[in-house]
Amino acid sequence: DVKVTQSSRYLVKRTGEKVFLECVQDMDHENMFWYRQDPGLGLRLIYFSYDVKMKEKGDIPEGYSVSREKKERFSLILESASTNQTSMYLCASSLVRGFSQPQHFGDGTRLSIL
Amino acid sequence: ILNVEQSPQSLHVQEGDSTNFTCSFPSSNFYALHWYRWETAKSPEALFVMTLNGDEKKKGRISATLNTKEGYSYLYIKGSQPEDSATYLCAFPLGPIGAGKSTFGDGTTLTVKP
């Protein structure tokens, strides 16, 4: 089974801090994704990567950056955390650059910015 | 941005009731449709990948149908059980142009009362 592991289930940080959320997948997937999920807003794509060192902005990239130095690891960075970034963050991966493969999700990180 | 709509937003049923909900998507440039189940405190998991018009997929008491010409998919649950309580998401892959990205609906949250 595919395993997508997010480094923390719960995280509390302060406004202005630089925050790193880490995600690791163990199935050699090319695609990796970062989403945030807020009540009533569904899953919104922050950033997407289809290969090492490649990244594309999603629908809501402002205030975030990403890093993919190795195929299995995709990091989300909040450059200067703000209270409106309090949310549930989900990482996902999928097998190929295509449409028939579903995404495999991690358990999520519930991030609170105080 | 493509529009993927799910209805209803939430649903409360009694144990044993059968229920269904809808995912509407653009009927042009169809590649596939994915259904996910997202239980509280767990990660979303893929239920079905549907690719052909007229497809019907089944997993236990849950089944799904697909109409690509009119742009909708139905998810049916027969004899709902409390363990079926979850948010059900549909996702519309953007195909080769989207390089693995999908647009997600906001989900239907099902609560099954014992």
pLDDT tens series, chain A, 114 aa: 669 999 999 999 999 999 999 999 998 998 999 999 998 788 999 999 988 988 999 999 999 999 999 999 999 999 999 999 999 999 999 987 556 788 999 999 999 999
CA distances from B84 to A16, A24, A26, B26 (A): 41, 29, 28, 28
Which B residues 10-29 touch A at CB under 8 Å? none
Asked if B52 has any chain A CB less than 8 Å from its own CB, the reply is: no
Tens-place pLDDT, residues B7-47: 999 999 999 999 999 999 998 888 889 999 999 889 999 99
pLDDT of B99 > 80? The answer is no
Q: Which of B51, B95, B102 sits opposite A103 (nearest CB)?
A: B102
Tens-place pLDDT, residues B14-23: 999 999 999 9
Question: Minimal Cα distance from B9: which residue of A?
Answer: A40
Transcribe B36-71 into DSSP letters: EEE-TTS--EEEEEE-STT-EEEETTEEEEEETTTT
pLDDT of B53 > 90? The answer is no
Q: Which of A50, A102, A108 sits opposite B49 (nearest CB)?
A: A102
Q: Distance from A62 to chain B by nearest Cα, in Å?
A: 17
Q: Distance from B62 to chain A by nearest Cα, in Å?
A: 18
